[in-house]
Structure 1
Amino acid sequence: MNTRTGLDWSKAQQLYLRERDAFVAMRPASRALSREAADHLLFGVPLHWMDDWSTPFTLFVRAAQGASFEDVDGHRYDDFCLGDTGAMFGHSPAPVARALAEQGARGLTAMLPSRDAVWVAEELARRFGLPYWQFALSASDANRFALRWARAMTGRRQLLVFNGCYHGTVDDVFVDLDGGRPVSRASLLGQATDLTQNTRVVEFNDLAALEAALADGEVACLLAEPAMTNIGMVLPEPGFWPAAQALCRRYGTLLILDETHTISSGPGGFGRAHGLAPDMLVLGKPVGGGVPCAVYGFSAETATRAEAAKRRAPPGHSGIGTTLTANMLAMAAMRANLEQVMTDTAYQAMFDLAARLAAGLRAAITRQGMPWCVTQVGARTEFQFTPMPPLNGSQADAILDGELEHMIHLYLLNRGLSITPFHNMMLVCPHTSESAVDRLVAAFEAFLIEIRA
């Protein structure tokens, strides 16, 4: 698919060189820190993917508060990335910051539960309709543990995922379709086993393929985002999830929903908003207001099966949990965030802002005659280089254009606007202002005007 229809690519390349030079000239402190970091940090960054932004060197942050952050050169940015959901309700929410300070004075971790754990579990049960919960340090871990529980409960080894999915650093799910054939994802470093032996993969929104994958009764669980978000946003077609849930029940396959990104849909996530009834649910980084933590829940029946599986197993290491899991600091952060930050009122404000952003982007795209579309999942919005939203991972992958994305992202950064560095995802938080939304739309349209054919 041609993602550059309507663009003058020569103009675009000239613009990129201009914006690259401007970025370098305006940020001497970040440039100096990048050179210093290269001496002792692999790839010059704490984690290698921090080098994947559109910038000629790493942008270093001095402070982040509410809906904005400041770099070490003193430039302020309206932040529509928000830690790629880690700060979905704003940077350093005041209730969470207070809870961290107070709990820090009382204790950080003890390998024993605190009173907050009971409150948090009760609140999660109320929000999500799943009565039993466990904790982890990240959504990656929570997904990994959920898969282990599913295999233990069912006695089955096979897992099922959707093509193009991402569920954190869980080896089992890095299987893609290549010409209709399942293959281990080529980018996965150091993989020693053939993942296709125990993981099956089908396209999102394809009920026939889903049933074919489940029909032999060997699949322990389907792990899925209720709307795909990590390869670009892909929404479920009407009727897909009711039918998919029925297929899972028919073939004895557990349904695990990963709501780490789709929690943008509401206080109970996409599933609660749309009437889904998963057997298990995973929620990661947004739940603690920016503190590393995650949760995963069980239906009553699944919890009974999980407890029985553990009691049947010999004593010893289960492969589930770490010594820092459910530490007192994280539990205090989760309680403060769920109780005072992640509220119905906050969500309504975010929905209104996201609707304003989506409408503004659509209007700009229409005015400039671009064959692009805008997709929205609650507080999460994305523009995509195609006239119609993709229906599955293959279609979403075909419209990714890293070079074009980097041009847009760098252009926006130079105008004090940050969006997620991977595809074109934007979040709003309760602190985002209407004027910031309007600035983003105006800068986006200015970019289109500069490079259109």
Structure 2
Amino acid sequence: MSEMTEIIGGISRSRIAAVREHETMVYVAARPRSEAAIGKGAQGYLGGVPMHWMRDWPMPFPFIVKKAKGAKLTDIDGIRLADFCLGDTGSMFGHSPAPVADAIRRQARRGLTYMLPNSDALAVGTLLSERFGLPYWQVATTASDANRFALRVARAITNRSKILVFNGSYHGAVDETFVQLQHGDQTNKKGLAGEFRDLTQGAVAVEFNDIEAVEKALAEGDIACVITEPVMTNSCMVLPQPGFHDALRAATRKHGTLLLIDETHTISTGPGGYTRAYGLEPDLFVLGKPIAGGVPASVWGMSADVAARWQEYEATKEPGYSGMGTTLSANPLQFAAMRAMLEDVMTDDAYKWMEERAERLQEGLAKVIEDNGLAWHVVRVGARVEFICAPGPLANGTEAAQAHAPELESVIHLGLVNRGCLIAPFHNMMLVSPATKKKHVDRLIMAFEDIVSELAQ
């Protein structure tokens, strides 16, 4: 978006600035303890925060969390917020679900890591196969790791060097996925730190929903794997067009390319993710963040065919490090938490509750947008809801990038915080958990109405 644009999402830049100034004063005045603790940066941390993206929140400084439970956060100034960020999906089923907290306490007395399986590990293997449909699984610590390892398997068994990614997608810190289309050319994504390689040598980027571009790229015969979310979520949300996933699966099979579905965010769709809800048939499957209720863990699964081909490859490869796995992965604390999540938390009833509340939220936000005469739209995937400050629906990553309005969105985020609601700092994502109540949803709708009406004056 041009720096000279005076209207952003139907709101004047001067109005955005005025509302930001007021909301900033409100935020700072309400949080003297957080300001004293981190207003000028926390001592000992590069950039003043433990992780660099903690600076990406739209507030003048992050508030310090005192505790989180269910769908609520309390900061050190005693302010309570209805939490719709939920750790950007890591706590999608609420903070510290009782079965998970109990399982962690039990396992903490039995050891935290020992590089050997326990009874929970045996149970989880069966649960993963039953839940997600693929027969063979491995455990990692982050979705980034899981995607990275799954792509190694894909390249090994196909003896192909490249992968295909969709423009505007995000799959964690997997180097070769950081490619983009810019004016029709493929380049490294902007902002990469210390990247010395041309990542387009190992990856091809095409637009989501463009099956002709997929076919053309796969026809070259050098692409090992297509990696994709079923719905693009790490941008302004882009839904698949009718028939796209069926055509994608047919194209990959035709050209001998594997298909990796990354469900880390779209697990919001239902108990088996978007894959089970819509009958997708991936060769490889990745799920991170919420699988252990907030304990760092991820899983990646493979079909029987991929497993058989991997065993053949292993029988002939040189001995040595595979480049897959880390020492703390598959530890007993992860298994305790995953078992509790799969057995007692990620249930059909929980998803039914989440779906109902998310639908209420979607309808409420859409009405606010309509009442204020704004050309915005709201999109939902199960328990995941997002408002987008541009017309929709969006078709691909290029359109998603053009729809992103960070200057406007950041003021809305700040205004929501000042009105007792927290949403994800990246884009406008909101999650509904089993702990989210009708009153929390209504509070967010009212807060959204208040700040949007203030902007639209």
Q: TM-score, normalised by structure 2?
A: 0.97
Separation of aligned partners in 1, 2:409 and 2:398: 18
Deviation at 1:290, TM superposition (A): 0.5
- Preserved CA contact (<8 Å) 1:256 1:282: yes
- Preserved CA contact (<8 Å) 2:100 2:340: yes
Partner of 2:284: 280
Separation of aligned partners in 2, 1:42 and 1:426: 29
Q: Which runs of 4+ in 1 moved over 3 A?
A: 35-38
Deviation at 1:37, TM superposition (A): 4.5
Alignment of 1:40-189 (within 5 A): 40-189=44-193
- Preserved CA contact (<8 Å) 1:11 1:450: no
CA deviations 1:66-125 (Å, max 9, x no partner) are 001111111000000000000000001111001001001011111111111121111111
Partner of 1:450: 454
Separation of aligned partners in 1, 2:364 and 2:196: 47
Separation of aligned partners in 1, 2:22 and 2:224: 53
Name stretches of at least 5 consecutive residues in structure 1 with no aligned partner. Answer: none
Candidates 428, 436, 443, aligned match of 1:439:
443
- Preserved CA contact (<8 Å) 1:30 1:58: yes
Separation of aligned partners in 1, 2:40 and 2:236: 34
CA deviations 1:367-394 (Å, max 9, x no partner) are 1111010000000000111221211000
Partner of 2:264: 260
Partner of 2:320: 316
Separation of aligned partners in 2, 1:36 and 1:314: 52
Q: Percent identity?
A: 54
Deviation at 1:25, TM superposition (A): 1.0
Candidates 376, 379, 400, aligned match of 1:375:
379
Deviation at 1:271, TM superposition (A): 1.2
Asked if residue 347 in structure 1 is aligned to residue 323 in structure 2, the reply is: no
- Number of corresponding residues: 453
Helix, strand or coil: the match of 2:115?
Answer: coil
Deviation at 1:7, TM superposition (A): 2.1
Asked if residue 410 in structure 1 is aligned to residue 414 in structure 2, the reply is: yes
Helix, strand or coil: the match of 2:448?
Answer: helix
Partner of 1:386: 390
Partner of 1:197: 201
Asked if residue 244 in structure 1 is aligned to residue 221 in structure 2, the reply is: no
Amino acid at match of 1:405: E
- Preserved CA contact (<8 Å) 1:222 1:253: yes
Candidates 354, 359, 362, aligned match of 1:358:
362
- Preserved CA contact (<8 Å) 1:9 1:451: no
Deviation at 1:15, TM superposition (A): 1.3
Deviation at 1:321, TM superposition (A): 0.2
Deviation at 1:36, TM superposition (A): 7.0
Deviation at 1:38, TM superposition (A): 3.6
Separation of aligned partners in 2, 1:36 and 1:419: 23
Separation of aligned partners in 1, 2:166 and 2:418: 36
Name stretches of at least 5 consecutive residues in structure 2 with no aligned partner. Answer: none
CA deviations 1:103-162 (Å, max 9, x no partner) are 010111111111111211111111111011001000000000001110011110011000
- Preserved CA contact (<8 Å) 1:420 1:426: yes
CA deviations 1:259-315 (Å, max 9, x no partner) are 000000011110111111000100001100010000000111111111222222122
Deviation at 1:247, TM superposition (A): 0.2
Helix, strand or coil: the match of 1:152?
Answer: helix
Deviation at 1:59, TM superposition (A): 1.3
Amino acid at match of 1:129: G
Deviation at 1:4, TM superposition (A): 2.4
Q: TM-score, normalised by structure 1?
A: 0.98
Partner of 2:214: 210
Partner of 1:228: 232
Amino acid at match of 1:79: D
Separation of aligned partners in 1, 2:219 and 2:377: 36
- Preserved CA contact (<8 Å) 2:9 2:405: no
Partner of 2:305: 301
Amino acid at match of 2:119: R
Deviation at 1:223, TM superposition (A): 0.4
Amino acid at match of 2:349: T
- Preserved CA contact (<8 Å) 2:84 2:421: yes
Deviation at 1:12, TM superposition (A): 2.4
Helix, strand or coil: the match of 1:31?
Answer: helix
CA deviations 1:202-221 (Å, max 9, x no partner) are 00000110001100211000
Deviation at 1:331, TM superposition (A): 0.6
